[in-house]
Structure 1
Amino acid sequence: MVLFSSGRIMLLSQLPIVMRESLHAPLQLTGLALALSPLCELVLMPAMAFAALRWGRGTVFLAGGAASVAYYGGLVVVTTPAQLLLLQIGYALFGAATVMVGIDLAQRLMVGRAGRATSIYLSHENVAAINGSLVATVSVATLGPQVGFLVPATLCLVALASATWAFTRHPEAFDLRRGPPRVRRP
């Protein structure tokens, strides 16, 4: 999740610059672009919960991870504000799928300690903020504000490959349809 989320800080710092300098979009459109993904996530979270019940957690999580790879890769080549807004809607799939499934996985792996599991899971945002700040500093300085998004795209690709490996090695742990893992009592 740290790798998947590390581009979010770069997104907040560089998206207004990309919109203004590269896409020549009006400044008012920046607020809409930044708000679009969170608004769409609210609608998509229940849909992702339904999809996880139907196709399994791993599938939904990986779909969200693939959406993040496509998003950051798309930011490198986007040429119009309309394309950017479509990318923002697609990026909502990442947030809706990974957060919903990630919290559920954390709670199932720490049965009986759901609050602690959720706190540990959500702390990835703090680590991602630190990592994302470093990524943004280095990639923007060397590649520029738009092409610099190749770095988070690559990080997301590594995270997607790692998640795919974990989910294929342990499919039973990532499928909501199988029920919670059994707790062994001493």
Structure 2
Amino acid sequence: DMFSSVLRAQFSLAWVIGPPIAFALAIGYGFEVMYLASALAYLICAFVVWRWLPSLPLPTPNSEVERVSSWRDPSVRALFIASTLMWTCNSMYLINMPLYITRELGLEEKLAGVLMGTAAALEIPFMLLAGYYTQRFGKRPMMLVAVLAGVGFYAGLVTLSSQSALIALQLLNAIFIGIVAGIGMSYFQDLMPGRAGVATTLFANSIRTGSIMAGAIAGTVAEIWSFHGVFMVATALALAALGACWRVPNV
């Protein structure tokens, strides 16, 4: 769990340092230099993988593990639904937030970058804390804390509209995403012993499914209702995720 949390924290760290570097390169030297720098970063990553990462043998299939449909397990099914709903809410926020703060609230465009950067920076300590406290209390209490923070975050977006309030709300957003991203995959793996590959795929599919649902929901609600209404729907979905998460056993 701690390893997964540390690994996921590196993604958030990249979100903190990446955009400012890209902005500085684009403004100072142009987009060509920025994309060349990105290509160079990929080459460095390829060299690191080739030079230092070990080659691991393929795991031996365990014939004793019963090959049954994961969807038949009510615990796995509830966790998949909860995870999908949580990622749906997060994707709806990312899609909707820049347009909401500029078109409906009339705030500065750069605030969108500030909010994303603040959330990414705050996610890092909560990912690390999630890995630590999961070892003490188990995954279910931590996931419930995460979803409760998510409910508070989206409810706050519905009721608050000032710049300072939106920045302060990123603390709840960081708790929400930091814990879900930090322990979500290992939660699936613990519920499906001996089927780590299937568990990892389920978690990844919950993220993809959530992104697909978010695009359809956010676009439809914004078109028919408003950008503000998208956050009302996200609050309802977060509450539904809380109900689904409540049915998952603690491991």
Range class of TM-score, shorter chain: 0.7 to 0.9
1:88 aligns with 2:170: yes
Q: Would the alpha carbon gap of residues 120 and 51 (structure 1) be closer, same or farther in structure 2, given more than 3 Å must change? A: same
CA distance in 2, matches of 1:10, 1:162: 19
Which amino acid in structure 2 is aligned with residue 84 of structure 1? L
**Higher alpha-carbon Rg:** 2
1:44 to 126, 129, 136: 126
Verify the 8 A CA contact 1:69 1:156 in the aligned structure 2.
Answer: yes
CA distance in 2, matches of 1:89, 1:45: 13
Aligned length: 169
TM-score normalised over the length of structure 1: 0.82
CA distance in 2, matches of 1:44, 1:11: 20
CA distance in 2, matches of 1:50, 1:67: 18
Verify the 8 A CA contact 2:95 2:215 in the aligned structure 1.
Answer: no
Which amino acid in structure 2 is aligned with residue 134 of structure 1? A
Deviations 1:71-113 (A, max 9, x none): 1111111221111111122111111212222211112233344
1:6 aligns with 2:81: no
- Describe the SS at the equivalent of 1:85: helix
Segment drifting more, 108-117 vs 66-75: 108-117
Q: Which residue of 2 aligns with 1:178?
A: none
Cα RMSD for the two superposed structures: 1.7
**Deviation of residue 149 (structure 1)?**
0.8
Verify the 8 A CA contact 1:135 1:152 in the aligned structure 2.
Answer: no
- Describe the SS at the equivalent of 2:154: helix
Segment drifting more, 109-118 vs 120-129: 109-118
**Deviation of residue 58 (structure 1)?**
0.7
1:139 aligns with 2:221: yes
CA distance in 2, matches of 1:99, 1:12: 16
TM-score normalised over the length of structure 2: 0.62
**Deviation of residue 24 (structure 1)?**
3.0
Verify the 8 A CA contact 1:17 1:145 in the aligned structure 2.
Answer: yes
